Each structure stands twice: as C-alpha cells, then as structure tokens.
A = this chain, B = another copy of it.
Amino acid sequence: MELTTAAEQKSLLATLDPGKRTRLRRLLFEFGPGNGTLLFLPIDQGIEHGPRDFFPNPASKDPGYQFRLAAEAGYSAIACQIGLATKYYPDYAGQVPLILKVNGRTDVPPSDEALSTTNSTVEDAVRLGADAVGYTLYVGSPRQDADLRQLRDVRRDCDRFGMPLIIWAYPRGSAIEAKGGRDSFYAIDYAARLAMEMGADVVKLNMPKIDREKDREAPAPYNDLDVTQEDAIRQCVESAGRSLVVLSGGSKVDDDKLLEQTRFVMEAGGSGVIYGRNVWQREWSEAVEVIEQIKEIMLSSVTRIP
C-alpha cells in the first residue's frame, strides 16, 4: 500500500483567505520555532481535569506560570479558555499568540455521550486579539449531531472573521469504545479525516496506539492491519490532507520518550506538537530546557511549506 507523500499534499496557506493566512503565518513563522512548524502550549486542564494536574508542580496552579513560559520560552501560541484569556492574557498580549478554546467540559460525568458545548465565541477571540480558535470535536459520540451542528456555527464565524480553526479531534463515547477504543489507529485516523472535512485549518490529534487485541473490534481493514505506531502516525497525518496536524503528548512521559515522539511526528509529516503537562509539570528551569530540546528537533526538520 503506497500513499502520496505528505509533502506533496501540503499547501494549506495558499488556499486561505487573507485573514486566516495572516494569522496562521504569525504562528508558523513569527513565533515558536519559526520554520513553519507549530509548538503549542495548552492550558485547559483546569477545566477538563480540574486542579489535580497542578499538584506535581504547585507553581503551575497560577496561570501566570504557563503564560510566562509560553512567552519567554518561545511557543508558537498558548491555548486557553475565556477566563484565562480575559484575566491573564492581557499581561502577555503581543508576546505570544493566543488560541481561544471556545468549548470545554469537566470530566466529572462519564464520557459515554460526550458533548463539549461552547462557552465563548469567535467574536470573543477577535476582541481579545487571538490568532486562532480551538474547538473540541468528540468524533463518533452518540451526540455527534449536536456537536457537528455547533461546529458549523463556529466554523462559519471563523470564515467570517478570517480566524484559523484548530480542531481538537477526539474519538469519544460508548460507540467508539466498542470498536477498539479512543486511541486506536481506526479512531484517530477517522478523527483526522473528519476534522479536515469539517473545515479545520489545523487538526490536533492524540498519538494512535497499536493494541492488536482491541484493534480486532475495529471495522475492516483496521481489524487486520500490521502497522507500527510510526506508520500509523504517518497515515493519520495524511488523512488530514491539507489541514496541518499537531500531535499531543498526553500525560507526562520521560524526556527520551518525549523527544523521540517529537521526531516521529515531524518525520511523519506533522506540522508540530502540543505539549502541556509534559512541560509545565516541571520546575521553571527544567521546563525551559526541555522546550529548547524540543525546538531543536523541530528546527532540524527542513523548513516546511505549510
């Protein structure tokens, strides 16, 4: 099985209108690594998980910690919800681009019928000087009907205001668990394609995991494939087509693993990474150091023509 290479597929910027192009270029070339790649810092765990993620590094409980880190260590952008954007971003306005995440939910109730409703708007993003909007799409949830309709309005407003749309494409819900689970190659691959078809300019994916046992419950041909994780990542990136792909690290892993997977992502055609807990659950100096190492890897990949 041979696919056209990712490099051939990519030429996103050329398809964008001036507003989206201006803002996305800022993320790709003016901040972060600066070579057409993306390094995002997410600070939405306070909503999605509660304050428990801040205990390993108490300093991280103050949102100022993440904002300062994003600005001083040179991230491409910081992603957060309306409250932080309103009360903390002003101190760093212009020093690091803002991605306003417009929906979210606590993880208190179960995720069987997950739906993440919007708590802010694209117009809020414009008003706050953001350079992109983030939306969490629960791919395959029984409530996808409400999710896709809601996304329609966010997407439309992004088109209207020239605001790049970043979709956090998360397989979720009882039905996906019955078909191999949220981390399977099947699930992530579907999520990548769906996000692109729904109008994402950038797609945020979790790393697909290969689990022969669970994969048997996925639809053909995923139930009978023999792929490595690296290969799966590459194929997910291709499924996103002209949409740029950033992959996330999830919960904290050791340094070697973190740098290795960064290399994987870049080699697979990904446009960047989104590292939160892996970075800000560290002391300041340690955090700054690992960011430098990550950026080195990203810069060592050839300059991208996104």
Contacts and interface: CB of A to CB of B under 8 A. Distances in A.
A189 B50 contact: yes
Nearest to A57: B1
A2 B58 contact: yes
Interface in A1-59: 1-4, 8-9, 12, 15, 44, 46-47, 50-52, 55, 58-59
Contacts of A81: 197-198
Interface stretch (A140-148, A254-262, A266-274, A286-294): A140-148
A2 B90 CA distance: 26
A119 B149 contact: yes
Interface string A229-262: 0000001001101110000000000000000000
B62 A241 contact: yes
A139 B193 contact: no
A7 to B, nearest CB: 12
Interface string A208-226: 0000000000011110000
A1 to B, nearest CB: 5
Contacts of A142: 109
Contact of A50 (B52, B116, B193): B193
